[in-house]
Amino acid sequence: MSEIKESIEQGSYYHIYNRGNNRCDVFFDADSYYYFLKLYDKYITPIADTFAWCLLKNHFHILVYIKLNHEINPDKLEFSTVEKPKVISASRQFSHLFNAYTQGINKKFNRTGSLFESTFERKKITSDAYLQKVIFYIHNNPVHHGFTKNINLYPWSSYETIISNKPTKLKREDVIQFYQNKDNFIEYHNSEQNLQEINTFIIE
C-alpha cells in the first residue's frame, strides 16, 4: 500500500525531492537536464517561487515557496487536461511536470514504465535555520555524492546563479538575505554544517 503524502499548503516553503525508480538514472545527458528545467519553468514557475535546486544523475532537490491564489496568474498556468482545473493544486502541477518529463525521456530513449520512485517527497520548512541548512544541503549535494570537489564547479545547481549577477527567475536576493549578505552566503556554504535537523531527507 503506497504511503499517503501530506498535502502541499499555499504560502509555505517546501523541500521537494525524489529519485529514480529502483535508484536508476533520471538524467541521461545534458539535454535531459535542460529538458527538465524547461518543463519545470512551464509547470512550476506559475505556482511557486524557486529558491534553490540541484539535479543529479538519479535524483533531484528543489526548494520552493508555494504561492497563494492571489499571487498566481491563471493565464500562465500549464496543466495536462483540456479543461482548466477548478482548484489550483501544487501537488498536481508537480505531477504534471514529472509525468511530462517521463513521457519525453521514455520516447527519446525508447524505454517504458516509471522513471521516478513513487510519489515525490515533500518536507515543509518550519524555521529560518532549517531553511538555511536545506539550501546548504541542496547546493552541497554534488560534493556529498562525489560528483565534484567544489560546488562552484557543478553545472546543474542554483549555486552559481545565486552568486552571479546574470538574469534569473530564481529568488536570488531573497536567498542572499537569508544569510544577510552574499559573503555570508558563500562562507556558510564553504563551512561544515550540522545537518542533524534535516537528515530525514538525505538521499543516499
The conformation of residue 83, written as its DSSP 8-state character, comes to S
**pLDDT per residue as tens, the chain (204 positions):** 445 677 899 999 999 999 999 889 999 999 999 999 999 999 999 999 999 999 999 999 999 999 998 888 777 676 655 556 567 889 999 999 999 999 999 999 999 889 998 789 999 999 998 999 999 999 999 998 888 888 989 999 999 999 999 999 999 999 999 999 999 999 999 888 776 655 555 554
For residue 197, the one-letter residue type is E
Q: Contact 169/41 with Cβ under 8 angstroms?
A: yes
At 16, give phi and psi (nearest 5°): -105, 130
- The enclosing H or E element of 17 equals strand 13-19
Distances (CA, A) of 118 to 54, 107, 109, 115: 20, 20, 21, 9
CA distance 173 to 163: 10
Handedness of CA 150, 155, 157, 160 (dihedral sign): positive
- pLDDT given for residue 88 in this prediction: 80
- pLDDT given for residue 117 in this prediction: 86
CA distance 136 to 184: 12
Total-model pTM:
0.88
CA distance 164 to 162: 6
